[in-house]
């Protein structure tokens, strides 16, 4: 097994480059952990990584180097890139982490998906690719180098595929293996967008097709997505969660059936290993108009000397028809292939897995209220918990953020400056402040013509807040959109404040260094008696960031120095306001989530750790519906969460928590109700499974020798495997029926055929255990409950922490 890892290492540019390998950035510790876990590592150095990471993984100071142009034949960029790549390779060699040194690193990557943007740079792009390849090889890492999405990769570099499907990809030389460096088994989400989901049947189909058609190396992107803490999410507008619908979710819990079905898939492919590694290319056999087989057959003499036990023939049978099941004849036997599926035959006779037949359990994850979020609860007011939502009286403190100049670090200059040139991305926020003088003639002109003055900006990204005389009078959200905002001005001097905000810097595309932030083009006021006012001719005072942000009032020490005041429960929602409180960690070891569904937009910190940006921007109501795994996947197919905020739950790692007195600080921009915030634990509380007599025996029971021993195969039967999260056991069986049950998870019902002892048998086998196995066999249920029908076992079970389960059985 191997793990593929993008490298995000902060480095600071001063007189010389300073690297940060501390804490969460300890790359050496991570690589050693990979090795100690028995895994191999594909280290993708980049240094451009995309990954929906802020600025594609580049440090923002890079754009300030004189004469620099990113990712092209440009000397300043190549110098910095070579410095970084050499630093990482030298560090890995020093720590003995390459495979030839006994370490886990088997392969490296230079650049990333450059072929998608190379044409933008013309000949300089082609020259850059050749330079990057030479530079990488000259570092003498001793392992192969890869470029993904790079059809013109030089001979010394392996070009690889990224995408939802890569079975049709071929490297640019017959001497190179077929690599799939990014199998997009899900997709990322944007604020105000639907939540993408990719059916596991389609993912399994894509992977099986890849190996069916000669694939050598495959990597899921993502297998575990995690969380983009702090301000690390890219943009524009990518959410803090990077769950990615991955087999292991953001909280470290298994996403079922995705995890289980893919585990079975790879167990089936592993059974084909003797033939797969011994044959350079498979034999193609057409089985029908949209059906085909690829056969890996080893000559007996070669097989017997090189492979040992195992099968000398393995086959993949594919039905690429999106609509119809097909019956095909292969080597004299008839096989039924569901639409858009692949069957895997490790011995060219026995089907052990079909990508469309899912027997893995389904897990329903929930959040639960463990303890009151806030302490100091009034005895006179009752504590009430209803539907796992807490209505506990709480204690909050508040502090207003000034809508004005707040530090000595401000400066005044004529003209409208570009956002990143001022902030250097030290903050999302940049304040621009100027004064507009309105004459009596202007007021009369507006009244007589029934018009209002208008702020006009040619182009703006990502968020603009407009204040006049201390009042928020408008907001604009978009990616390089035109601003036309009517404003109300008084006679005399008026304070105009423009607050531009970033919500993740651009992370993909050519010319990242030129993308910038804030405003582009003209900034002017229209509608005045004497015509337009060009605001670029005005003097502006610039202030970077928030006062509370730079005073670090989100940390335990600095929070005590701030002038907080008590917040009353009846207070109106307030904009540009800081909030703080303390909470106790939920009991147990389940991962922890912060519910910010009652808030607007802002940022959150726990014990000084930056949880990330939050925003309750709502997804469109349409675009979600029934999901059919059949046919090519795209990012809007199988979308979920329509009509709801894209994200309300935010991951708090337990390592950042203490048992009590945890400091929670929020900066709220648009107004929300902190009294409805709660901290909850997250776990899998409901598990379901459906397995029929027509399912294949569990791959856990197969070994290579089973394909030689026909008697062993004949004794195998399908099985249902149920398991709870670590530290949890099956507390009850809510439903069990062997026969012809109807419905789906949490909506099962008995059909016309039902074995009366189903519930008792499953309860006896599973209750009180962390996992259990039930054979799908008539004799196990006291006989055949309905002859002539294919029987199915459907089960719904509840999981609970082991201590809770044990107590309930006493």
DSSP-assigned letters across all residues of 91-148: HHHHTT-BGGGTSSEEEEEESSSGGGTGGGGHHHHHHHHHHHHHHHHTT--SS-EEEE
**Is 182 one of the annotated active-site residues of the chain?**
yes
| Structure token pair of residue 284 | 């193609």
Question: What angle (nearest 5°) sits at the alpha carbon of residue 309, between those of residues 304 and 313?
Answer: 70
| Structure token pair of residue 690 | 């459906």
Number of neighbouring beta carbons within 10 Å of residue 349: 16
For 667, the enclosing helix (H) or strand (E) is strand 662-668
Taking the C-alpha atoms of residue 184 and residue 219, their distance in angstroms, rounded to an integer, is 9
For residues 648 and 189, the answer to whether their CB atoms sit within 8 Å is no
Instruction: Please say whether the dihedral angle defined by the alpha carbons of residues 205, 209, 211 and 215, taken in this order, is positive or negative.
Output: negative
For 283, the enclosing helix (H) or strand (E) is strand 283-288
Indicate the SS3 state at residue 512.
Answer: helix
Number of neighbouring beta carbons within 10 Å of residue 43: 27
With left for phi above 0 and alpha for psi between -120 and 50, is residue 358 left, alpha or beta? Answer: beta
**Residue among 687, 714, 718, 713 nearest 793 (CA):** 718
For residues 108 and 47, the answer to whether their CB atoms sit within 8 Å is no
Taking the C-alpha atoms of residue 36 and residue 212, their distance in angstroms, rounded to an integer, is 31
Per DSSP (E only), the strands in 346-470 are 353-354, 362-368, 385-386, 389-390, 396-400, 411-414, 429-438, 454-468
396-400 and 577-583 strand pairing? antiparallel
Please state the φ and ψ torsions of residue 633, each to the nearest 5 degrees. -85, 145
For residues 341 and 265, the answer to whether their CB atoms sit within 8 Å is no
How many CA atoms within 13 Å lie on the side-chain side of 747? 2
Distance of CA 780 to the CA centre of its chain: 42
For residues 397 and 579, the answer to whether their CB atoms sit within 8 Å is yes
Rounded (10°) CA dihedral 599, 472, 613, 579: -60
| Structure token pair of residue 670 | 């648009």
User: Which CB contacts under 8 angstroms, 24+ apart, belong to 513-517?
Assistant: 513/62, 513/63, 513/68, 513/69, 513/70, 516/418, 516/419, 516/420, 516/421, 517/418, 517/419, 517/420, 517/423, 517/461, 517/462
**Is 250 one of the annotated active-site residues of the chain?**
no
For residues 44 and 5, the answer to whether their CB atoms sit within 8 Å is yes
Determine which one of 113, 201, 513, 549 is catalytic: 113
User: Which CB contacts under 8 angstroms, 24+ apart, belong to 457-461?
Assistant: 457/482, 457/483, 457/519, 457/521, 457/522, 457/523, 458/482, 458/519, 458/520, 458/521, 458/522, 458/523, 459/519, 459/520, 459/521, 460/500, 460/518, 460/519, 460/520, 461/236, 461/502, 461/517, 461/518
3-state secondary structure 582-637: EECCCCCCCCEEEECCCCCEEEEEECCEEEEEEECCECCCCCCCCCCCCCCCCCCC
Determine which one of 52, 69, 182, 513 is catalytic: 182
Measure Cα distances from 333 to 287, 328, 349, 351 in Å. Answer: 12, 8, 8, 11
Measure Cα distances from 414 to 433, 470, 542 in Å. Answer: 11, 22, 10
Taking the C-alpha atoms of residue 197 and residue 364, their distance in angstroms, rounded to an integer, is 15
Q: Catalogue the active-site residues.
A: 113, 182
């Amino acid at each position: 097994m191997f793990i593929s890892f993008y490298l995000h290492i902060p480095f600071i540019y001063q007189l010389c480059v300073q690297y940060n390998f501390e804490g969460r950035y300890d790359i050496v510790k991570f690589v050693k952990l990979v090795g100690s876990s028995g895994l191999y590592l594909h280290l993708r150095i980049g240094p451009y990584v995309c990954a929906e990471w802020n600025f594609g993984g580049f440090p923002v100071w890079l754009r300030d180097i004189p004469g620099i142009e990113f990712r092209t034949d440009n000397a300043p960029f190549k110098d910095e890139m070579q410095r970084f790549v050499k630093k990482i390779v030298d560090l890995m060699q020093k720590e003995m982490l390459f495979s030839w040194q006994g370490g886990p690193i088997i392969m490296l990557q230079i650049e990333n998906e450059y072929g998608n943007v190379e044409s933008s740079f013309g000949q300089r792009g082609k020259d850059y690719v050749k330079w990057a390849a030479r530079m990488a090889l000259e570092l003498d890492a001793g392992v192969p180098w890869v470029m993904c999405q790079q059809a013109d990769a030089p001979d010394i570099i392996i070009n690889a595929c990224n995408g939802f499907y890569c079975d049709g990809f071929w490297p640019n030389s017959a001497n190179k293996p077929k690599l799939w460096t990014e199998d997009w088994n899900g997709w990322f989400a944007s604020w105000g967008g639907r939540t993408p989901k990719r059916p596991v049947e389609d993912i399994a189909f894509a992977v099986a097709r890849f190996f069916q058609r000669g694939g050598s190396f495959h990597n899921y992107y993502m297998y575990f997505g995690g969380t983009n803490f702090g301000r690390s999410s890219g943009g524009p507008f990518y959410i803090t969660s990077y769950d990615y619908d991955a087999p292991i979710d953001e909280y470290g819990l298994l996403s079922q059936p995705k995890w289980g079905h893919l585990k079975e898939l790879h167990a089936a492919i592993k059974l084909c290993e003797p033939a797969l590694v011994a044959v350079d290319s498979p034999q193609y056999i057409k089985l029908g108009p949209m059906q085909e087989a690829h056969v890996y057959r080893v000559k007996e003499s070669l097989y017997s000397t090189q492979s040992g036990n195992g099968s000398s023939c393995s086959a993949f049978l594919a039905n690429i028809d999106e609509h119809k099941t097909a019956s095909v004849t292969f080597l004299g036997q008839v096989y039924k292939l569901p639409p858009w599926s692949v069957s895997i035959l490790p011995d060219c006779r026995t089907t052990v897995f079909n990508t469309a037949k899912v027997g893995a359990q389904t897990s329903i994850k929930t959040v639960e209220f463990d303890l009151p979020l806030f302490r100091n609860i009034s005895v006179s007011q009752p504590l009430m918990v209803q539907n796992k939502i807490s209505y506990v009286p709480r204690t909050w403190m508040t502090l207003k953020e000034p809508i004005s100049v707040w530090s000595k670090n401000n400066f005044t200059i004529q003209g409208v400056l570009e956002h990143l040139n001022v902030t250097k991305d030290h903050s999302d926020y940049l304040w621009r402040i100027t004064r507009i003088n309105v004459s009596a003639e202007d007021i009369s002109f507006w009244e007589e013509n029934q018009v209002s003055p208008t702020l006009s900006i040619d182009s703006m990204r990502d968020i603009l807040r407009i204040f006049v005389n201390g009042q928020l009078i408008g907001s604009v959200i978009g990616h390089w959109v035109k601003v036309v905002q009517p404003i109300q001005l008084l006679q005399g001097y008026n304070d105009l404040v423009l607050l531009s905000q970033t919500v993740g810097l651009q992370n993909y595309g050519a010319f990242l260094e030129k993308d910038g932030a804030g405003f582009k083009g003209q900034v002017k006021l229209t509608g005045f008696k004497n015509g337009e006012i060009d605001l670029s001719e005005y003097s502006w005072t610039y202030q970077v960031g928030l006062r509370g942000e730079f005073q670090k009032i989100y940390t335990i020490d600095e929070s005590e120095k701030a002038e907080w005041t008590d917040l009353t429960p009846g207070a109106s929602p307030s904009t540009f306001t800081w909030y703080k409180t303390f909470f106790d960690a939920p009991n147990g070891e389940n991962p922890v989530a912060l519910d910010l569904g009652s808030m607007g937009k802002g940022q959150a910190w726990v014990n000084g750790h930056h949880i990330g940006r939050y925003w309750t921007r709502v997804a469109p109501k349409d675009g979600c519906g029934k999901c059919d795994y059949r046919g090519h996947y795209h990012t809007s197919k199988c979308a979920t969460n329509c009509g709801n905020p894209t994200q309300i739950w935010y991951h708090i790692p337990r390592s950042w928590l203490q048992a009590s007195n945890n400091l929670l600080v929020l900066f709220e921009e648009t107004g929300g109700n902190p009294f409805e915030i709660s901290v909850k634990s997250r776990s899998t509380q409901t598990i379901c499974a459906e397995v029929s007599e027509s399912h294949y025996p569990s791959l856990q029971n197969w070994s290579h020798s089973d394909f030689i021993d026909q008697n062993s195969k004949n004794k195998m039967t399908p099985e249902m495997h149920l398991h709870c999260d670590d530290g949890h056991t099956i507390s009850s069986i809510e439903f069990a029926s062997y026969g012809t049950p109807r419905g789906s998870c949490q909506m099962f019902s008995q059909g016309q055929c039902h074995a009366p002892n189903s519930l008792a048998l499953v309860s006896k086998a599973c209750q009180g255990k962390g996992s259990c196995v039930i054979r799908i066999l008539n004799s196990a249920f006291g006989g055949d409950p309905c002859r002539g029908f294919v029987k199915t076992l459907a089960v719904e079970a509840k999981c609970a922490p082991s201590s809770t389960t044990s107590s309930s059985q006493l």
